[in-house]
Structure 1
Amino acid sequence: MENLLDSENRESLKLLLTYPLFDENTYDSRMKELLTLDINSVFSFGKVQIHRICILGKGSVGLVTLVKYRKKYFVLKIRRTDANRANM
């Protein structure tokens, strides 16, 4: 499992957090939110692939990926930038 928060994987994380179209402002905002929530790992893990990143699931409103928070694993749902909703 690759940790996308590692510096060498940040380009992949940019694509994941702003799927399907990259936007710098959205990326910055979502990175701040991840750090505020104290999420220390976002993993490339799962059977679904987008941009060569493995995730747990992909829907019309969001993507689901594996994260680590305080030594425990959780799933994180990331709203797509083209979602028809303003929030989750």
Structure 2
Amino acid sequence: MEWRVRKKPGWLVPLPVGYGALTEVFGPGEVVSARDETTPFCFVESLYSIGQWCSPHHLQSPSELLWYVDNDMEKGVYRLNNDYQRSACA
């Protein structure tokens, strides 16, 4: 294997973006030894996406840094989205 320098700037990195439900939501106090007995509880696993790390000086406005909640409670998906599309590092 030969190591070479990539020609494109930026790095592709895994991004934790939320959680996916493994079980139904249990009522408050139904799960023994949960952190508190007043909050509904659900077993979850992490959801990952892939993104390109770009230096902030490539961005045009602060809103391009913002993430927002995009949950689908019926499917048990609790995640964050960022709609930035432009390839700032290209």
Please tell me the TM-score bracket, short chain as reference. under 0.3
TM-score, normalised to structure 1, is: 0.24
Q: Which has the higher strand share?
A: 1
Task: Compare CA radii of gyration and give the structure with the larger one.
Answer: 2
Q: Which has the higher helix share?
A: 1
Higher relative contact order (CA 8 A, sep 6+): 2
